[in-house]
Amino acid sequence: MKNKMVIVGGQPLYGSVRISGAKNAGLVLIAASIMAEGETILDNVPRICDVEVMIEILNSMGVKSGWNEDGSLSIRPPAGDMGIKTPDEMAKKLRASNLFLGALLGRQGEAAVSMPGGCDIGSRPMDLHLKGAQALGAEVEIEHGYIYARTKAPAGSRVYLDFPSVGATENIMMMASKTPGQTIIENAAKEPEIVDLANFLNSMGGKVRGAGTDIIKIEGVPVLKAVHYGIIPDRIEAGTYMIAAAITGGEIQVENIIPTHLHPIIAKLQETGAIISETEQGLLVKAGERILPADIKTMPYPGFPTDMQSQMIALLSLAEGTSVVVENVFENRFQIIDEFIRMGAKIKLEGRSAIVEGTPHLFGARVKATDLRAGAALVLSALAASGTTIIDDAIHIFRGYESIEEKLRSLGAIIK
């Protein structure tokens, strides 16, 4: 499989780019589909490696799923019981495989989910997911790297999350949708992907209220019926192309987006001097005369997304002045800093903060993608740098960005 990207930098990018469906909505909706009776059809699912792994996991558990000619994804679980175990080697590649915990418990009261892998961006415990499952009546054991969970008398309950974890909120929403009685999630995650999951469950006959606020109430229903549903656009992919305009001195229109989902990103990009306007098709982003420094703190939604932190550092490394970026969600997200420094960036780490002293130029270098978003950030630095950058381990980038090479080339990037 292709694992390298070679970028010749220095070209301002111009044009329009169509944003794909949201990776994080696609992954959870695929898991949730196993709870429905009949064939679910999902539109706008991005064709990325993470989704392909999710489909492999489905098929290994006895679900029939695959792409249709019109680009939609069909998911048809068996009428009777299906496999309850996510295969270890696939699940290790993809943290989102943990979303089968809530979906399987909701569907048939039993799940064996591999302790997940995915991006190496920090400790990613499962305690809140398990707390939720247990509150709704599951007995949980962890053995040989697997979480085994089974419900005997499932019943709705109140669950307080110590941190508004996206995955834990989603697992509880799925399980609760088929658990008798009312479940209340307090301090729930408020990300747009949570709202998309609630809309999806409700379209299937579920009863979820309050998604998008920090209290979500779910009434369990006995049956969920398969539907045809289109997932929301990817706000992180959109944000990445918006920075591509700002960092290369170009002008890019991002199309097929929901502007309100992008407010935290728009606000910070404007602080750095980018000029952003709403158009009929989406958002037009024009680089400012100069890149200005900005301070950033990552937070759960509607705060600034941790998934945009690395890309923002790429931009700030070329600002006229010093920025402070604080990472509050995943502690290892700064692993990429050494790669930026290889390209000429001036960045110092102090605990959870990166002090980014802007420099006028970056230079092409041989660098390595350490995780998905870090890889995207290296692409951005490479587009702005003089000379050629070789990005190794680019597989991380393909995990989350649909047709990234084609999209960048259509905007004028030179990618070999």
Q: Which parts of this chain interact with ligand UD1 (CB under 6 A)?
A: 24, 27, 95-96, 123-129, 163, 165-168, 189, 193, 306-307, 329-330
Give 294-339 as a DSSP string: --EEB-STTSB-GGGHHHHHHHHTTSSSEEEEE--S-TTTTTTHHH
Provide the 10 A C-beta neighbour count for residue 13: 24
Tokens of 301: 């939604």
Nearer to ligand UD1, 81 or 127 (CB): 127
Nearer to ligand UD1, 90 or 284 (CB): 90
In whole angstroms, what is the distance from residue 288 CA to residue 276 CA? 10
137, 151 Cβ separation under 8 angstroms:
yes
Which SS3 state, helix, strand or coil, does residue 251 take?
A: strand
Chain CA centroid to CA 322, Å: 28
Nearer to ligand UD1, 33 or 306 (CB): 306
- How far, in Å, are 21, 102, 121 from residue 354 at the CA level? 31, 36, 15
121, 330 Cβ separation under 8 angstroms:
yes
Nearer to ligand UD1, 107 or 129 (CB): 129
Nearer to ligand UD1, 127 or 320 (CB): 127
Nearer to ligand UD1, 51 or 257 (CB): 51
Q: How far is the CB of 286 from ligand UD1 (least distance, A)?
A: 28
Backbone angles phi, psi at 330, to 5 degrees: -120, 120
Q: Which helix (H) or strand (E) holds 275?
A: strand 275-278
In whole angstroms, what is the distance from residue 325 CA to residue 236 CA? 18
73, 54 Cβ separation under 8 angstroms:
no
Q: How far is the CB of 67 from ligand UD1 (least distance, A)?
A: 20
Helices 100-108 and 166-177 cross at an angle (nearest 10°) of 10
Task: Considering only the C-alpha atoms of the chain, give the largest distance between any 2 of them, rounded to a whole number of Å.
Answer: 63
Shortest CA distance to 151 belongs to which of 136, 165, 164?
136
Q: How far is the CB of 374 from ligand UD1 (least distance, A)?
A: 12
Q: How far is the CB of 38 from ligand UD1 (least distance, A)?
A: 25
Give 199-244 as a DSSP string: HHHHHTT-EEE-BTBSEEEEE--S-EE--EEEPPB-HHHHHHHHHH
Q: How far is the CB of 361 from ligand UD1 (least distance, A)?
A: 30
Strand partners, 209: 217
Q: How far is the CB of 243 from ligand UD1 (least distance, A)?
A: 17
C-alpha neighbours within 13 Å on the C-beta side of residue 191: 27
* Closest residue to ligand UD1 using C-beta atoms: 167
Q: In what order do the strands lie in the sheet with 353-357?
A: 296-297, 322-326, 353-357, 346-350
Q: How far is the CB of 235 from ligand UD1 (least distance, A)?
A: 11
- What is the DSSP-derived secondary structure letter of residue 21? B
Nearer to ligand UD1, 166 or 413 (CB): 166
In whole angstroms, what is the distance from residue 200 CA to residue 27 CA? 13
Nearer to ligand UD1, 117 or 205 (CB): 117
Strand partners, 141: 148
In the set 119, 254, 257, 319, the catalytic residue is 119
Active site residue 119: yes
Active-site annotation, residues: 119
